[in-house]
Chains A and B, each alone.
Chain A
Amino acid sequence: DVKVTQSSRYLVKRTGEKVFLECVQDMDHENMFWYRQDPGLGLRLIYFSYDVKMKEKGDIPEGYSVSREKKERFSLILESASTNQTSMYLCASSSRGRHAYEQYFGPGTRLTVT
Chain B
Amino acid sequence: AQSVSQHNHHVILSEAASLELGCNYSYGGTVNLFWYVQYPGQHLQLLLKYFSGDPLVKGIKGFEAEFIKSKFSFNLRKPSVQWSDTAEYFCAVNDINAGNMLTFGGGTRLMVKP
Contacts and interface: CB of A to CB of B under 8 A. Distances in A.
Interface string A45-70: 10010100000001100000000000
A44 interface: yes
Interface size class of B (residues with CB under 8 A): 20 to 34
Given A31-B100, A94-B100, A107-B43, A101 B34 contact: yes
A40 B32 CA distance: 23
B43 A42 contact: no
Given A101-B49, A102-B49, A105-B45, A48 B101 contact: yes
Interface in A80-110: 90, 92, 94, 100-103, 105-108
Contact of B94 (A41, A48, A101): A101
A27 interface: no
Given A43-B90, A106-B43, A101 B105 contact: no
Given A42-B90, A45-B103, A101-B94, 5 more contacts: A40-B107, A43-B90, A45-B101, A102-B49, A106-B43
10 contacts: A33-B101, A39-B107, A40-B107, A42-B105, A43-B44, A44-B104, A48-B101, A101-B51, A101-B94, A102-B49
